[in-house]
């Protein structure tokens, strides 16, 4: 059974930083692309970043490029999202997702999802 468990969310002031973690079990972690998505109230789930299982290739949405960094530790079955220079518009529930694809920005690309962790950025 595949499980993804996010942690690290919280309340932070604008300009601050947070690091989200997502621990995976039930999958051959090194063979999965890991993605991060976020969903604000009343909005659809939107792509943030992914890190591919092929060569660790990364890709970011324009809204977070240069501020967020996605990384993975295959030995720990964990993917991270380092978020710097946070803005109020970054406030959302953040989800990690996993799939055997080489990487994608559409939510339907991903087969497995965590339960989400809330990030709130105050102005």
pLDDT, tens digit, for every residue of 92-123?
A: 999 999 999 888 999 999 999 999 999 999 99
pLDDT in tens, 61-94: 999 999 999 999 999 999 999 999 999 999 999 9
Place of tokens 């960094």: 69
Confidence of residue 42 (pLDDT cuts 50, 70, 90): very high
Distance (Å, whole) CA 5 – CA 120: 19
Q: How far is CA 21 from each of CA 35, 43, 114, rounded to the nearest angstrom?
A: 12, 23, 11
């Amino acid at each position: 059974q595949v499980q993804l468990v996010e942690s690290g969310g919280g309340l932070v002031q604008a300009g601050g930083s947070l690091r989200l973690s997502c621990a995976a079990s039930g999958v051959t972690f090194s063979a999965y692309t890991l993605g991060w998505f976020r969903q604000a109230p009343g909005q659809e789930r939107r792509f943030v970043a992914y890190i591919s299982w092929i060569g660790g290739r990364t890709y970011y949405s324009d809204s977070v490029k240069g501020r967020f960094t996605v990384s993975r530790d295959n030995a720990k079955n964990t993917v991270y999202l380092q978020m710097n220079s946070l803005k109020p518009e970054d406030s959302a529930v953040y989800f990690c997702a996993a799939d055997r694809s080489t990487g994608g920005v559409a939510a339907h690309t991903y087969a497995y999802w965590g339960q989400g962790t809330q990030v709130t950025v105050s102005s």
